[in-house]
Amino acid sequence: RVVFTDETSFHMKQVIRRVCKKRGENYYISTIKHPIKIHAWGCFSNKGFGKLFLFTRTLNSKLMCKIYKYGLLPSTKKWFGDNNTNWSLLEDNDPKHTSKMCKRFKVANGVQSLPWPSQSPDCNLIENVWALMKLKINKQPPTSMKNFMARIRKQWKNLPVDFAAKLVNSMEHRIELLIERNGD
């Protein structure tokens, strides 16, 4: 009964994989200095994928509390009912998560966070979800901001429940490997 959460950024860019050129000919790749990016927050448990929040502004404690209120809590209520002692929150030690404002919100709403080491490999299972989504989105780069956001939402919506369950079921093995490798 663990809820995995994290944020990521999706960058709208074209990926050039191969270039044809004559021997000795120089080829210059133009780059986008400030690509359009969309930040995302999501959560999941062995019961499936919860709410997805997309935003373009900088994430701060106030926005994080709003995400907890309108993203995390409705998702956990759907999965585990009204009792917030039925589940635990797993998130990294990002200063926004550990800010006084966010701590107060979590205490006031009975959200129990699992301890997370300050220096640890990122073994939050949601990283696998973000990687899969980015891979699928980059196969055919979006053409507009509207299209970009729609594609991110579609990828999230199409994630199968059994994928969430498989990830959660893999956690024990991952922890065993971490212990075996002394945390590396």
Give me the residue label for tokens 């993203």: 71
Q: Which amino acid is at 3?
A: V
Residue-level pLDDT at 122: 65
| pLDDT score for 181 | 73
State mean pLDDT over 1-15.
86
Question: What is the mean pLDDT of the segment spanning 32-45?
Answer: 86
Q: Which residue has 């080491």 as its token pair?
A: 117
Q: How far is CA 170 from the centre of its chain?
A: 18
User: Between β-strands 48-55 and 36-45, what pairing exists: parallel, antiparallel or unpaired?
Assistant: antiparallel
What is the CATH topology of the domain spanning 2-13+36-180? Nucleotidyltransferase; domain 5 (3.30.420)
CA pair distance 66, 41, nearest whole angstrom: 11
- Read off the pTM: 0.84
Mean pLDDT of 105-125: 84
